[in-house]
Amino acid sequence: MPGYETKVHALAIDGAADLQIRSLLDNDQFADPAGAAEALGISSAQWPLFGQVWPSGLHLAAAMAIRPLTDGERILEIGCGLALASLICHRRGAEVTASDVHPLAGAFLLENLRLNELAPMRYCHGDWSEDAVIADGGAPRVQGRFDLIIGSDVLYERDDGGGLAAFIEKHALPQCELLIVDPNRGNRAAFGKRMAGLGFGFSEVLLSAPAERSDYRGRLMRFMRG
């Protein structure tokens, strides 16, 4: 046994066919016998967050289900967790790379690809913290530049050093689109100023609450450059 419990369920995505998703059973799960998560700065309270289905992730997946795709477009999902948006993009035939810092995110992605009878897709270790030194489980670090970078609920911490914006700039092409779904966290204004300083224009769409989360309030933030 891996030391944690999971469940498999059909997940409805607006604008797309259902996904079969393996997720953690609940937020009480934790298993880090080799200390891999601890070495990456992931506490026991943070550990299970990657393996849950979050409303912001559902909104991002729904946005990617209907967004027009361009031949040859390279897509990067940052802080992917269960990588719902990446799975939707991959099923539509896009060239997508999912990335996360959690040591189990890649293994969960591999299983969810199998459950949905999808071909392999690229997964990379993506850590934008200032002391990022360890890659998880042998996964390669994110390399190269992308036409589109996407993420959901990645503004959960203060980022005084601008690590996330710097990570995005490192992997964004001169002409690039950035889509971030944010549940109205207080850090989005500072992030928006950093992106403006990097030459990105900004627009946003307010998001309605999913049926199962009537208290959810969020927005789809779109940054464009070039």
Give me the pLDDT at residue 212, please. 58
pLDDT tens, 6-19? Answer: 999 999 999 999 99
Give me the pLDDT at residue 210, please. 60
What 3-state DSSP class applies to 86?
Answer: helix
Torsion of CA 94, 61, 23, 152, to 10 degrees: 110
Q: Which of 31-40, 131-140, 143-152 has the lowest mean pLDDT?
A: 131-140
Length of the chain: 226
> What is the rounded CA–CA span in Å between residue 197 and residue 20?
40
pTM of the model: 0.95
pLDDT(136) > 50 = no
DSSP track, 206-225:
EEPPPTT-TT--EEEEEEEE
Under CATH, to which class is 6-29+45-225 assigned?
Answer: alpha beta
- CB neighbour class for 210 (10 Å; exposed up to 12, middle 13-18, buried from 19): middle
pLDDT tens, 80-113? Answer: 999 999 999 999 999 999 999 999 999 999 999 9
Q: Where do the structural domains in the chain lie, given as residue ranges?
A: 6-29+45-225
Q: How large a percentage of the chain has pLDDT more than 90?
A: 86
